[in-house]
Structure 1
């Protein structure tokens, strides 16, 4: 029997950033992934400290941004790749009221580091009222991040390429098939609904579509544009535009009305011809209070859940993976705001 300190079930941002904590702290582990694309793997990879509807920020935004940048440098030390794309978000203003609100908010202490006071005129796209730059925003090279880390896992015998079978798990013996473990962490996104140990946790699916388009007039390479949705280059002459939010149409195929919404949204500020080349969708695991759900099973003390990262999966996944690791290894209590127990 092979023994490991940890089993991770799930292959999105929660699972991969948690795996990084284990690598950093010299813990042995395996990660279960069938190799299908999770919601994380079709995400935009936006790293953004500002809520761009109302120009507000969120809990621990600066800490999360700083911690992410440090951790991506650490990941680069063993994968050999830098996955951070320095392409700040430029939010196109709808009218003068939005310009004024941005300037007003940029004077507030917690937003002054994020909202640039100088407005920009963007090329190619319509921006009659200019655009505001979000300082410290960036993008993750999503494909590079997942392929780089899974390549590392494979080389180091961390990757189990199969679906996790709950019937083979014996928590009281700390065994799964021919594996012995100290702790097992479920990072399954919406897959948690099939997990007999944590199926009751309060996560809800939010379906997001995005399109990959070919633009007849190209944009600058190092820019991320936001109006209703995000637009940025992905290489191969294609651009990402999305994503939508839908809590109602939860079937597992493309929703044409979401595609129409995206085409219409892009046409509003991109005045040239474009062609839709690809359509993708995924289900974000969201929580009513917009905070992750982290905790230990009430009966089996070696079973944990890390879920509910929502639309800020990169920042939440990176930052709270450390909190979960410290909770398990050092018995440092979790923040009440993210603890599984807050719903009991």
Structure 2
């Protein structure tokens, strides 16, 4: 029997950022990964403090940006690589009214450090009304992040590539197979719906598609272009364009309507030929109030859930991983806006 402080179930952003908190604090753990392609692993990796439809920001945006950069610096110390890509978002304006709204909002206290007042004209795309730069925005090298962290964890025998079987947990003596644990943290995304301990948490699947395209005229590599969706270069001379949002078509197949939406969206501002080389999709776990769901099971005091990261999985997963760690290890209460008890008062 092997003793561990933590078992983590799941292998997306919530899992890996929480694992980082354990590494920092010298806690022993194993992660159970069934090696399915999670929403995290097919995500765009956008790090963005601004809601670009309305030019607004969100709760703790500045704190999350600062904490993420600090965390990625810490991760670099043991993986040997920093996965932050300095490629700020440039939002293409539809018309003069959007330009005026951007300038007006840029004077607000909560947006003054995010909305750049100097507009830019982008080469190679249609942007008759120029574009606005989102300061402090960036991207995560998603593939590099997961490969780098998984390699580190495998080398330390902290990844177990098998499906987690809930019925095998012995809740009385805190064992699972050949592990004796102090805590279990479930970071399963939409897989939580199969979890008998937390299946009733109110996460809603939001299906997102993106396309991998070959552009016949290349664009600048040091920016991320946004109009309806995000466009940016990948490492293999292709580009990412996406993603869509759909709460209705929840089957496990590619939606032709989503591909058509993406194709038409790209044609709106990219006036050159392109080929679609791949279509991917994932199911984001979203919550009605747009806050993560974090907390302890009411009857099993050493079981926890970390879920509902939504479209801001990187920022939410990174920032609130420390909130969960401090809650478990130091007894620091969770903020009411993220706590599980807001849905299930204990």
Q: Same fold (TM over 0.5)?
A: yes
Distance 1:172 1:19 in 2: 25
Is the partner of 2:129 in helix, strand or coil? coil
Aligned to 2:278: 278
State the shift of 1:34 in Å. Answer: 1.8
Aligned to 2:99: 99
CA deviation map 1:87-123 (0-9, x unaligned): 0000000000000000000001110000000000000
Aligned to 2:184: 184
Aligned to 1:156: 156
Give the conservation status (yes or no) of the 8 Å contact 1:171–1:302.
no
Aligned to 2:66: 66
CA deviation map 1:129-171 (0-9, x unaligned): 0000000000000000000000000000100110000010112
CA deviation map 1:161-198 (0-9, x unaligned): 10000010112211001100000000000000000000
Aligned to 2:203: 203
Distance 2:158 2:287 in 1: 30
User: Are residues 1:3 and 2:3 paired?
Assistant: yes
Aligned to 1:118: 118
Aligned to 2:127: 127
Aligned residues: 344
Distance 2:122 2:34 in 1: 42
Is the partner of 2:15 in helix, strand or coil? helix
Aligned to 1:170: 170
Aligned to 2:77: 77
State the shift of 1:236 in Å. Answer: 1.2
Aligned to 1:144: 144
Aligned to 2:323: 323
Is the partner of 1:320 in helix, strand or coil? helix
For 1:249-328, what aligned pairs fall within 5 Å after superposition?
249-328=249-328
State the shift of 1:79 in Å. Answer: 0.2
Give the conservation status (yes or no) of the 8 Å contact 1:50–1:134.
yes
Distance 1:26 1:203 in 2: 32
Distance 2:341 2:128 in 1: 49
CA deviation map 1:234-275 (0-9, x unaligned): 121100000000000000010011000000000000000000
Aligned to 2:45: 45
Report runs of 4+ in structure 1 exceeding 3 Å deviation: none
User: Are residues 1:235 and 2:232 paired?
Assistant: no
Is the partner of 1:231 in helix, strand or coil? strand
CA deviation map 1:27-48 (0-9, x unaligned): 0000000222110000000000
The answer for unaligned runs of 5 or more in structure 1 is none
Is the partner of 1:190 in helix, strand or coil? helix
CA deviation map 1:4-35 (0-9, x unaligned): 00000000000000000000000000000022
- Across the aligned residues of Structure 1 and Structure 2, the Cα RMSD in angstroms comes to 0.5
TM-score for both structures, normalised by structure 2: 0.99
Distance 1:3 1:303 in 2: 16
Query: Which one is further off, 52-61 or 32-41?
Result: 32-41
State the shift of 1:276 in Å. Answer: 0.2
Distance 1:50 1:25 in 2: 32
Is the partner of 2:111 in helix, strand or coil? helix
Distance 1:247 1:161 in 2: 30
Is the partner of 1:115 in helix, strand or coil? coil
Is the partner of 2:288 in helix, strand or coil? coil
Give the conservation status (yes or no) of the 8 Å contact 1:171–1:303.
no
